[in-house]
Chains A and B, each alone.
Chain A
Amino acid sequence: MSTVFATYNVKGGVGKTSAAVNLARLAAEDGARTLLWDLDPQGASTYLFRVKPKVKGGGKALVKGKSDVDALLKGTDHEGLDLLPADFSYRHMDLALDGTKQPTARLKAVLAPLQDDYDCTFLDCPPSVSLVSESVFEAADVLLVPIIPATLSSRTFEQIEKLLVQEEGPRVMAFFSMVDRRKHLHRDVMAQLRDEQPGALLDTAIPMAADVERMGSNRRPIADFAPRSPAARAYRELWKEIQARLR
């Protein structure tokens, strides 16, 4: 049985892709057979793994169960880590899902035949509140929510709580992302949120770092080009903490 992690936030630019890519790489390095599904039509994860953002038949055939998922997978440069690439057609995935009988069960159904092939599955989700995100909530076991410690970030919790109305939704594990410890505001918000949401926030925070941005030009996860950088170390800590919480 594969554990399905989804990196999700209503907002964009909070470090979802960075988390998905780096955590998936760490999972594979630990020996877990790992799959990353890049659901974001922008294809940032796909780009980082140097795979062409193209899925035969597009998102529509995929969610309708008409594609052979196995044939769409691409091996990455990391042994044990495969990618289900993004496709530009994913921008219409809401429409594609809407045209199916049980729209919110579709992503789970796409992953079902791969259950035994992978120990960990990561879903890199587009920022939105939509049928896609509802499908993600149904498919995921763990929702990984990066939060930038800014004034409105406590609202993120309210939003997610509202979205996860169903009883057996995924476990929510939020963590601070793009943290600048020199900023008073960041430090204050972090302290305040930890008070308000004890238990829901992971201890590890991902720092704001030039190395995270350099992933784009290097087209590799951080650990590949700056393994000892603070950001690489933070992701390693984060992965350890997530696994410890799951045990």
Chain B
Amino acid sequence: MSAYLLPDGLDLDRALASHLDFRAGPARSAALTFYDTFDGRLHAAGLTLRHGDGRLSVVDRATGAETAGVPLAAAPERLFGRDLPPALSARLAPLIEMRALTPLATVVTRSRNLAVINEDDKTVVRLSEEAPRGLRTRVLSLPVRGYDKDLQRVHKVLTVSLGLTRIVEPLADEAIAATGALPAGTSSKLDLALTRGQSAGAAAEAVLARTQAIAAANLPGTLDDVDSEFLHDLRVAVRRARSLLRELKTVFPERELQRLRDDLKWVQAITGEMRDLDVQLLDFEAYADRDRLAALHEVLEAHRTRALATMRRDLRSRRATRALQSWADLRAIAGTPPVEAIAAERIAKVYRQMLRMGRAIDEDTQPEALHELRKKGKELRYLLEFFGGLFDADVVKPMIRALKALQDVLGRHQDFEVQADTLRNLTAEVDDREALLAMGVLIDRLAHEQHRARTEFASQFAVFAQRRAAVKATFG
């Protein structure tokens, strides 16, 4: 499909009449609604999900062609992977994962089909004039199989004879942009552009500003409980900011620093239970024994409903508003050293601390030690996310790889333990024999998985420790 812009005031039928034989159909109006996840996953995959005319369709962004569709009377308000009709879920569910598809723009469009015909009165090219209210009118040309030459002729008429310009931007993008939103979605990635020689204060302010913007962008979706990732991204932003304030505490005025650190610690605390429940419910989707565990699911949902109400109240409180505000307002002191100096020192120090902690771990060590190491690892991870770009990529990249692999082992070790603990605590509330038996099996499996993660620890830590010489040479 190709799209062309129709200038205001140009009568398409009259303009075409001297060049082509065609039959014009009646005009109809339809409300078109475009969907994507908050972070624009369909957009990134080159797709658009559209509802209009009683049909929910997946459209290829580049060609405008429908790749899958189902009849659906009303435009849905929100769709998860599990809500999608089978014809669409095969394509979309793996892309969106746990995210929700929500309507980003609705535009009432008046459209009319024109069939370009040959001497046998046979349709050889389909044209469609689409006038979305408040947006630019487009002419779309859709090929009919086996009539390529006619398509070329129509293209020539539209561009040369009528002087229309082709437009690549899909209607969905134009409609979404018109609402003030970003067609590509809102990213929760850091995407910092720090430079060597920049003062540590300015760099720290940039990190704070970006993390604050991510938190603010994800707050409405968290309050509306659109999907689990709003809260997750908000919490990651808070954790990153806290990490920055801890690692670069010397560049901020003491009193304001302490106040923001307290506020952010509080935000993390009031959102913790809700996130834990989200994780348990997301894990639940992957359990093989879901049917037998229905009673557990009910208990988790009930807990979540209560936790959501409490979290909403807290996030709407004056303290939460103040936290977001002071997060945006905090300024560094003047005359701080170049960022790479402080960053190198911190990265080297946290790396050395991790080496010390890791070496102390053997088969008899309590799980808490692994948990502490993981927390330290997150600290290093964030430092590298903020400042890694300032140093030699040949050192930073393998360091991040080794750290990620280590954190993965530690993370699994910790998560399985938390999951098993939660299940044990919930047994008192689950009043169903079948479910209790299934929970027992699950707890056993989790213990087994945790044990496996523990056995992988030594080798992953060894790989991480091998980076020592390179880390010392680069960061001191």
Which residues of A come within 8 Å of B, CB atoms? 31, 49-52, 71-77, 79, 82, 219
Q: Are B120 and A50 in contact (CB under 8 A)?
A: yes
B149 at interface, CB cutoff 8 A: no
A-B contact pairs, 8 of them (CB 8 A): A31-B69, A50-B120, A50-B122, A71-B146, A74-B145, A74-B147, A75-B145, A79-B126
> Please, which residue of chain B has its CB at the minimum distance from the CB of A84?
B146
Q: Are A82 and B71 in contact (CB under 8 A)?
A: no
> Please, which residue of chain A has its CB at the minimum distance from the CB of B143?
A75
Contact with B144, one of A52, A75, A219 (Cβ below 8 angstroms): A75
Which residues of B come within 8 Å of A, CB atoms? 69, 71, 115, 120-123, 126, 143-147
Given the contacts A74-B146, A77-B123, A82-B145, A31 and B71 also touching, CB distance less than 8 Å: yes
Q: Are B145 and A219 in contact (CB under 8 A)?
A: no
Report the bound CA distance from A150 to B121 in whole Å: 38
Q: Are A219 and B147 in contact (CB under 8 A)?
A: no
Report the bound CA distance from A71 to B71 in whole Å: 31
Q: Are A51 and B122 in contact (CB under 8 A)?
A: yes
User: What residues on B are CB-neighbors of A49 within 8 Å?
Assistant: 122
Closest 4 CB pairs of A and B: A50-B122, A75-B145, A75-B144, A74-B146
Report the bound CA distance from A50 to B117 in whole Å: 11
> Please, which residue of chain B has its CB at the minimum distance from the CB of A70?
B145
Q: Are B121 and A75 in contact (CB under 8 A)?
A: no
Q: Are B122 and A77 in contact (CB under 8 A)?
A: yes
> Please, which residue of chain A has its CB at the minimum distance from the CB of B113?
A79
Q: Are A50 and B121 in contact (CB under 8 A)?
A: yes
Q: Are A77 and B120 in contact (CB under 8 A)?
A: no
Q: Are A75 and B120 in contact (CB under 8 A)?
A: no
Tell which of B69, B126, B144 has the most Cβ of chain A within 10 Å: B144
> Please, which residue of chain A has its CB at the minimum distance from the CB of B126?
A79
Report the bound CA distance from A73 to B146 in whole Å: 6
Q: Are B115 and A77 in contact (CB under 8 A)?
A: yes
User: What residues on A are CB-neighbors of B122 within 8 Å?
Assistant: 49-51, 77
Report the bound CA distance from A219 to B118 in whole Å: 14
Report the bound CA distance from A22 to B413 in whole Å: 64
Given contacts A50-B122, A75-B147, 15 further A-B contacts (CB under 8 A): A31-B69, A49-B122, A50-B120, A50-B121, A52-B120, A71-B146, A73-B145, A74-B144, A74-B145, A75-B144, A75-B145, A75-B146, A76-B123, A77-B122, A219-B120
User: What residues on B are CB-neighbors of A50 within 8 Å?
Assistant: 120-122
User: What residues on B are CB-neighbors of A76 within 8 Å?
Assistant: 123
User: What residues on A are CB-neighbors of B121 within 8 Å?
Assistant: 50, 219
Report the bound CA distance from A204 to B131 in whole Å: 44
User: What residues on B are CB-neighbors of A74 within 8 Å?
Assistant: 144-147
Report the bound CA distance from A153 to B389 in whole Å: 84
Report the bound CA distance from A49 to B147 in whole Å: 14
- Smallest beta-carbon distance A197→chain B, Å: 36
Report the bound CA distance from A51 to B69 in whole Å: 28
Report the bound CA distance from A77 to B121 in whole Å: 10
- Smallest beta-carbon distance A61→chain B, Å: 17
> Please, which residue of chain B has its CB at the minimum distance from the CB of A50?
B122
Report the bound CA distance from A199 to B129 in whole Å: 50
User: What residues on A are CB-neighbors of B123 within 8 Å?
Assistant: 75-77
User: What residues on A are CB-neighbors of B115 within 8 Å?
Assistant: 77
User: What residues on A are CB-neighbors of B126 within 8 Å?
Assistant: 79
- Smallest beta-carbon distance A82→chain B, Å: 6
- Smallest beta-carbon distance B1→chain A, Å: 13
> Please, which residue of chain B has its CB at the minimum distance from the CB of A82?
B145
User: What residues on A are CB-neighbors of B69 within 8 Å?
Assistant: 31
User: What residues on B are CB-neighbors of A75 within 8 Å?
Assistant: 123, 143-147
Report the bound CA distance from A75 to B147 in whole Å: 8
User: What residues on B are CB-neighbors of A219 within 8 Å?
Assistant: 120-121
> Please, which residue of chain A has its CB at the minimum distance from the CB of B71?
A31
Report the bound CA distance from A244 to B178 in whole Å: 47
User: What residues on A are CB-neighbors of B145 within 8 Å?
Assistant: 73-75, 82
> Please, which residue of chain A has its CB at the minimum distance from the CB of B145?
A75
Report the bound CA distance from A75 to B143 in whole Å: 9
Tell which of B69, B71, B126, B146 has the most Cβ of chain A within 10 Å: B146
Tell which of B71, B115, B123, B147 has the most Cβ of chain A within 10 Å: B123
- Smallest beta-carbon distance A37→chain B, Å: 14
> Please, which residue of chain A has its CB at the minimum distance from the CB of B87?
A31
User: What residues on A are CB-neighbors of B144 within 8 Å?
Assistant: 74-75
Report the bound CA distance from A73 to B143 in whole Å: 13
User: What residues on B are CB-neighbors of A72 within 8 Å?
Assistant: 146
Report the bound CA distance from A117 to B122 in whole Å: 23
Report the bound CA distance from A94 to B126 in whole Å: 38
